[in-house]
Structure 1
Amino acid sequence: MSRIPTAELSRYLLAGQLTRNGCLYSQIPRIPPARQLRRPSTGQTRTLNTQSDPTTTPTTPQNAPTPAITPLRKQLKDQAKAAKASGKKKKKKNVDNQTVPGWDLTVGIEIHAQLNTARKLFSPAASSVNDKPNSHVALFDVAMPGSQPLFQPETLIPAVRAALALGCNIQPVSRFDRKHYFHWDQPSGYQITQYYHPFARDGCISLQARDGIAAEDGEGVEIGIQQVQMEQDTAKTMAQPGGVHWLDFNRVGLPLVEIITRPQIHHPATAVALVRKVQMLLRSVDACVLGMEAGGLRADINVSVRRTGAEGLGTRTEIKNLSSFKAVEDAIIAERDRQIAVLEAGGVVAGETRGWSLGSTETRRLRGKEGEVDYRYMPDPDLAPVVIGEDLVARLASSLGMLPDAEVDQLIDEYGLSAKDAISLTTIDNGSRIEYFYRVLDALEQQLGIKADIESTDDAKQRRALIAANWCLHELGKLVETAPGVETAALSGDAETLVPSAALATILAHLHSRRITTKVAKELFWRAFRREISADTVTTAIDDDGLWFKELSQDEYAALADEVVQGEEKVLGEFARFKQGKAKAYPQGKLMFLVGKMMRQGGDQRMDPAEAERVLRARIEEVHLSGLGE
């Protein structure tokens, strides 16, 4: 058979046009003409086949009215109203819907993560997906005849770092295979992957209760990683009104790692926790900088059910391309319930690929389940084996640094943070918030004159860490919520752009030393955000505005405490009941009620709430309840 001319092959690949000469035309249904899409910036045209059915070409009158497009938010609201009007039962909360009596759920996950590299996997084209569409496309990326894949060795570095973070064993030799399927987003008709000989195997991820696993899994669970393989991404499809699809080939050929877990997950919440943990691990070692929210990580979920006590696993279905944590949990629950309903009705679950849409209540069938035979896996003849030296693995392992679990443990044990705050610090802003916290804490200790070679007490160290963490997390979060126009800046990934760490540390040094009140500190924090003051001018601003904290004396505290309890015999009775053993819990709420009265009467500019509480508690015990027996 003679070689097909390049121009003819190009017309087929890009426009779906076939020549009238030869046998192909008589055997393949005719593909309708492609639409011409003009690129406004260059005046060039791109041809894209816009019909989903290759055998029919719908015709639309010229003056036909354009159908109105209903916003997705309105569609969801209308669906919710319709469901409520129909009298359907209210959907269970996911936290209460982790198990179904009499049935066991088994889940396996395949996570596709985009590697943080400058080049594509098999071409020197740049790996940027945010630039002008189709501006970073090499000949091999669009399968031009005669083009050959050229493995880019630098893509191996973040891949190995990812596998090491997942506890995998790096294979000294790995090979690439062709996975055949035809779709418009895959120009060559096959995807290059590592099905038979991946570069990493046998990893493990430990999940704890603090990671958000299902309560049914107890304090922790371990999920095995079967293998991690490198593969190329497809083009990006952008759906347009009228059944039109645009293709951006900037994404085709981007390097991915596919992480395949063992089927050891049995609750939807634990599946979500695993995907979240994988994303956090990949970010922590700089292997993947784009998470689910930015399209850099996608998950395929394999779901099967069986009756409790039955041997083996049920028929599995695969839910493709889930792009949010909520979608992972909702889709698993929906597919689990669908399979159970089919089996309880006496039916048979078909092995198939299914899809999930935002706001859905059930999965939908996409196609029959492809197997190894359908994909016709074969070794890629154009790519040599990848050999990874032990010296490279050792070097990368030594450079991983502290992984998230170890860092969270340190924040809890050494710095005294809660598990929730520790996890938030390590995950917010793609991990840059924890760096901001460390900068603030270091600068705070310098402001307080604490030297690194002088070991302070654990309590003092934790007190400094807690105040820094509170302001880096909660107070900064409140600032973002209340300040107009800050949301966009907050998503830049660095809190330093909102309030410089040096300025915050100076404010906290005065607050920690009780030279200013919390109210004054918040005002200074706001002014630092607006760049009205800096680290060098915080103290001057306090001087100029007379904001220094002039605390009451102990005698003044005591006199004020005695004053606020006057006429509060009922409240004092609660304290008396506790002292006499007639009440199980100390009336802390009543105490704080009296502290509030003290703050209002004495003026919060001269009072420390903690000191007011201490003095008030002591005066009630020593003076007002002194005559009562134990």
Structure 2
Amino acid sequence: MSRISTAELGRYLLTGHLSRRGCLHARLPRISPSAPFHRPTSQRRPFGSDAESLETSTAVPRNAAAAPVAPVTPLRKQLKDQAKALKASGRKKKKNADNQTVPGWELTVGIEIHAQLNTARKLFSPAAASFNDKPNAHVALFDVAMPGSQPLFQPETLIPAVRAALALNCAVQPVSRFDRKHYFHWDQPAGYQITQYYHPFARDGRIVLHARDGIAPEEDGGRVEIGIKQVQMEQDTAKTTAQPGDVHWLDFNRVGLPLIEIITLPQIRHPATAAAFVRKVQMLLSAVDACVSGMEAGGLRADVNVSVRRSEDVATGRLGTRTEIKNLSSFKAVEDAIIAERDRQIAVLEAGGVVEGETRGWSLGSTETRRLRGKEGEVDYRYMPDPDLGPVVIGEDLVGHLAASMGVLPDAEIDELVGRYGLSAKDALSLMMLDDGARIQYFYNVLDALEERLGLGNDAASDQRHALLAANWCLHELGKLTELASDLGMTPNGECHVPSADLAAVLSHLHRREITAKVAKDLLWGVFRGDITAGGVTQTIDAASLWFHELSEREYAELADQVVEGEDKVLGEFLRFKQGNAKAYPQGKLMFLVGKMMRVGTEQRMDPASAERVLRARLERVYLPALEAR
């Protein structure tokens, strides 16, 4: 390989410019198992592709000088610039919670969710299903449409698909068939996608959303049911990675990976409810081990269909013209994009215009959607039964076995976490959503080890304090570590860089009031960094003399007497509250005095709760009666 000149290397490092000298500019990419595919940008981005919009480009003549490439603007700067522009325009963006409805208009939303199934093989080839391996390392002949290659349906891909359909309360069809959906793009080598348009494997499902799922408060009764029209199996496309200079790299590891597409009925009326629906679907698919990962990790994508109509048109039953927003990759993006597109359509109609049926895109931090292309219909895709694939027959025995082995679904698990362990619905939901469902398993591991250390038997659930303590640390204190280190190393079986047994050891001492909360947090950080001695948490506490020897009641009282000296103004406020029959003292003023006690006393021997309890007692029995007697 020839040596790269310093000037050329500098252009690459500073501006991202990559020299094309010596590169071939063929119309078709050459398959290589060890390198990404390269191809100039085309003029059209069809339905189903990764990139949301592609600029028209012209092939560069071989001898032409390379055009200068503009420096790439970092995403953080783009978001800051957008925020500044919005502020300069004088427009103030409403909070989503206050922006769920527009008077005089009704919103209608339907959602299509694409989820990658948790399988070892691709849908129609024996190549391994892999996300993160070396590019183009798992590519069979059929995956890249080599002439003469044939699809070979992999029956094991049905297992997670059927589990997903059952979790969505769908009726699994005994016979389903595959169709070809034609469109042309570099990420689809065959020129068509194999899907189930006419005869999907599951139909007529439903999901019930509750207030705790985060639906819009405008939903009647705090509950809404969303119908699912069908669930169909289909193959994924190649992964496209944009590079500087109108170059795109293609990774065909993803071609042919098995997906399910979940298509709802147009029954969603509020943006927050749409986001709650996608979140609930992700949680259900994770609970039954049907999906490889969530939205943030790229294993689940959502397209939303949005239309609006005037309130007086609701009685007619006729919906407005819908537009589709493609490839939304977060729950917030779902809600934000729907609000922006709803407002855009309303503005068009109020100005006397007509909403066009089209496909639109959305970018992180945007305030409006953007047009990608006109909306394709059934005739554009030229759907036809795939002649190379026979029908898929799913036996009742398989469906029955999978239904019987589903395990506990999210709603039932949240009910147990709230009812048995005393968690709030919000904390229970957060534990189940974090780390693709691994955080809740970590909580159970910690809880089991904690109950064993505390010697709690079958009646452990009668005292919820230890469970609440474990949940708080698994959710909040463990989460604080991610502010300092990006990865906890959480595994699907519920273990991470802080072993559950070590956290349970810390919490057992904290629960018994043998260490302070500050010491417990220091120990948690020590476990995470690997600084704990070989003897474990308890030996570390012994070696560093970290045991909590709490002050006596008399010592707390002496501290309280010391800090209230000269605080007649604060005591006067407490007295006015007492004379006004207030149910509680001003908490801010009370904690001000507690803080003074903690600063004056020996922190290692003090518990804030005990200090507050003694201070309250002294207020009632000593300080306020003495102030009244003056």
* Fold agreement, TM-score > 0.5: yes
Distance 1:344 1:163, change over 3 A: same
Distance 1:625 1:93, change over 3 A: closer
- The AA in structure 2 aligned to 1:398 is A
Q: Does the Cα contact within 8 Å between 1:36 and 1:45 map onto a contact in 2?
A: no
1:533 aligned onto 2:511: no
From 164, 171, 180, give the equivalent of 2:182.
180
Instruction: Give the whole-Å Cα distance in 2 for the aligned partners of 1:97 and 1:45.
Output: 44
> 2:557 is matched with which residue?
558
Q: Does the Cα contact within 8 Å between 1:528 and 1:534 map onto a contact in 2?
A: no
Q: Deviations over 1:166-192 (max 9, x none)?
A: 111111221112222222222222211
Instruction: For residue 496 of structure 1, give the secondary structure of its aligned residue in structure 2.
Output: coil
- The AA in structure 2 aligned to 1:92 is K
Moved more, 266-275 or 76-85: 76-85
Sequence identity percentage: 73
Distance 1:594 1:222, change over 3 A: same
From 231, 234, 245, give the equivalent of 2:234.
231
Distance 1:169 1:534, change over 3 A: farther
- Give the total of aligned pairs: 589
Distance 1:509 1:255, change over 3 A: same
Q: Does the Cα contact within 8 Å between 1:36 and 1:46 map onto a contact in 2?
A: no
Q: Deviations over 1:317-350 (max 9, x none)?
A: 1112222223222221222122112211222222
> 1:16 is matched with which residue?
none
Return the offset for 1:76: 3.9
Please provide the CA RMSD for this pair.
2.7
Return the offset for 1:121: 0.7
Q: Deviations over 1:218-237 (max 9, x none)?
A: 52211111111111111222
> 1:450 is matched with which residue?
456
Instruction: For residue 183 of structure 1, give the secondary structure of its aligned residue in structure 2.
Output: coil
Instruction: Give the whole-Å Cα distance in 2 for the aligned partners of 1:104 and 1:535.
Output: 64
Q: Does the Cα contact within 8 Å between 1:106 and 1:304 map onto a contact in 2?
A: yes
1:406 aligned onto 2:415: no
Distance 1:534 1:395, change over 3 A: farther
Moved more, 173-182 or 120-129: 173-182
Q: Deviations over 1:339-392 (max 9, x none)?
A: 112211222222222222334333233332222222222222222221112221
> 1:211 is matched with which residue?
213
Instruction: For residue 483 of structure 2, give the secondary structure of its aligned residue in structure 1.
Output: helix
Return the offset for 1:130: 1.8
Moved more, 297-306 or 139-148: 139-148
Q: Does the Cα contact within 8 Å between 1:212 and 1:269 map onto a contact in 2?
A: yes
1:358 aligned onto 2:364: yes
Instruction: Give the whole-Å Cα distance in 1 for the aligned partners of 2:579 and 2:83.
Output: 55
Instruction: Give the whole-Å Cα distance in 1 for the aligned partners of 2:32 and 2:64.
Output: 23
Distance 1:500 1:75, change over 3 A: closer
Instruction: Give the whole-Å Cα distance in 2 for the aligned partners of 1:138 and 1:558.
Output: 78
Q: Does the Cα contact within 8 Å between 2:37 and 2:248 map onto a contact in 1?
A: no
Instruction: Give the whole-Å Cα distance in 2 for the aligned partners of 1:537 and 1:84.
Output: 54
Distance 1:623 1:508, change over 3 A: same
Instruction: Give the whole-Å Cα distance in 2 for the aligned partners of 1:457 and 1:361.
Output: 48
Return the offset for 1:83: 4.5
Instruction: Give the whole-Å Cα distance in 1 for the aligned partners of 2:376 and 2:599.
Output: 71
Instruction: Give the whole-Å Cα distance in 2 for the aligned partners of 1:165 and 1:256.
Output: 16
Moved more, 68-77 or 124-133: 68-77
**Residues 368-379 of structure 1 aligned to structure 2 (within 5 Å):** 368-379=374-385
Distance 1:509 1:57, change over 3 A: closer
Q: Does the Cα contact within 8 Å between 1:125 and 1:137 map onto a contact in 2?
A: yes
From 233, 246, 251, give the equivalent of 1:248.
251
- Highest relative contact order (Cα 8 Å, sep 6+), 1 or 2? 2
Instruction: For residue 610 of structure 2, give the secondary structure of its aligned residue in structure 1.
Output: helix
Distance 1:228 1:39, change over 3 A: closer
Return the offset for 1:457: 6.6
Instruction: For residue 373 of structure 1, give the secondary structure of its aligned residue in structure 2.
Output: helix
From 268, 279, 283, give the equivalent of 2:282.
279
- The AA in structure 1 aligned to 2:263 is I
Q: Deviations over 1:575-606 (max 9, x none)?
A: 32233235464322222222222222332222
Instruction: Give the whole-Å Cα distance in 2 for the aligned partners of 1:445 and 1:179.
Output: 55
Q: Does the Cα contact within 8 Å between 1:35 and 1:47 map onto a contact in 2?
A: no
Q: Does the Cα contact within 8 Å between 1:284 and 1:431 map onto a contact in 2?
A: yes
Return the offset for 1:265: 0.7
**Residues 43-54 of structure 1 aligned to structure 2 (within 5 Å):** 48=39, 50-52=41-43
> 2:328 is matched with which residue?
322
Moved more, 267-276 or 608-617: 608-617
> 1:440 is matched with which residue?
446
Return the offset for 1:530: 2.2
Instruction: Give the whole-Å Cα distance in 1 for the aligned partners of 2:37 and 2:538.
Output: 62
- The AA in structure 2 aligned to 1:341 is A
Instruction: Give the whole-Å Cα distance in 1 for the aligned partners of 2:493 and 2:115.
Output: 23
> 1:601 is matched with which residue?
600
> 1:427 is matched with which residue?
433
Distance 1:624 1:412, change over 3 A: same
Instruction: Give the whole-Å Cα distance in 2 for the aligned partners of 1:443 and 1:33.
Output: 61
Q: Does the Cα contact within 8 Å between 1:198 and 1:228 map onto a contact in 2?
A: yes
Instruction: Give the whole-Å Cα distance in 1 for the aligned partners of 2:534 and 2:448.
Output: 14
Return the offset for 1:489: 4.4
Q: Does the Cα contact within 8 Å between 1:37 and 1:45 map onto a contact in 2?
A: no
Return the offset for 1:626: 4.6
Instruction: Give the whole-Å Cα distance in 1 for the aligned partners of 2:477 and 2:37.
Output: 51
> 2:622 is matched with which residue?
623
Q: Does the Cα contact within 8 Å between 2:117 and 2:260 map onto a contact in 1?
A: yes
Q: Deviations over 1:195-235 (max 9, x none)?
A: 12111111111222222222222522111111111111112
Q: Does the Cα contact within 8 Å between 1:104 and 1:305 map onto a contact in 2?
A: yes
> 1:196 is matched with which residue?
198
Q: Does the Cα contact within 8 Å between 2:451 and 2:460 map onto a contact in 1?
A: no
1:347 aligned onto 2:353: yes
- The AA in structure 2 aligned to 1:513 is R
> 1:23 is matched with which residue?
none
> 2:578 is matched with which residue?
579
1:386 aligned onto 2:392: yes
> 2:14 is matched with which residue?
none
> 1:265 is matched with which residue?
268
Instruction: Give the whole-Å Cα distance in 1 for the aligned partners of 2:286 and 2:344.
Output: 35
Instruction: Give the whole-Å Cα distance in 2 for the aligned partners of 1:39 and 1:491.
Output: 36
Distance 1:269 1:590, change over 3 A: same
- The AA in structure 1 aligned to 2:26 is A
> 1:21 is matched with which residue?
none
> 1:27 is matched with which residue?
none
Distance 1:283 1:495, change over 3 A: closer
Instruction: Give the whole-Å Cα distance in 1 for the aligned partners of 2:618 and 2:522.
Output: 33
Distance 1:587 1:274, change over 3 A: same
Question: Please, what TM-score do these two structures have when normalized by structure 2?
Answer: 0.87
> 2:590 is matched with which residue?
591
Moved more, 467-476 or 45-54: 45-54
Instruction: Give the whole-Å Cα distance in 2 for the aligned partners of 1:576 and 1:77.
Output: 50
Instruction: For residue 312 of structure 2, give the secondary structure of its aligned residue in structure 1.
Output: coil
Q: Deviations over 1:54-79 (max 9, x none)?
A: 99644476544532223143344344
Instruction: Give the whole-Å Cα distance in 2 for the aligned partners of 1:498 and 1:399.
Output: 31
Distance 1:582 1:197, change over 3 A: same
**Residues 98-113 of structure 1 aligned to structure 2 (within 5 Å):** 98-113=100-115
Moved more, 526-535 or 381-390: 526-535
Moved more, 54-63 or 437-446: 54-63
- The AA in structure 2 aligned to 1:237 is T
Return the offset for 1:406: 1.7
Q: Deviations over 1:509-536 (max 9, x none)?
A: 1111111111222222222222222684
Instruction: Give the whole-Å Cα distance in 2 for the aligned partners of 1:617 and 1:473.
Output: 31
Q: Does the Cα contact within 8 Å between 1:51 and 1:244 map onto a contact in 2?
A: no
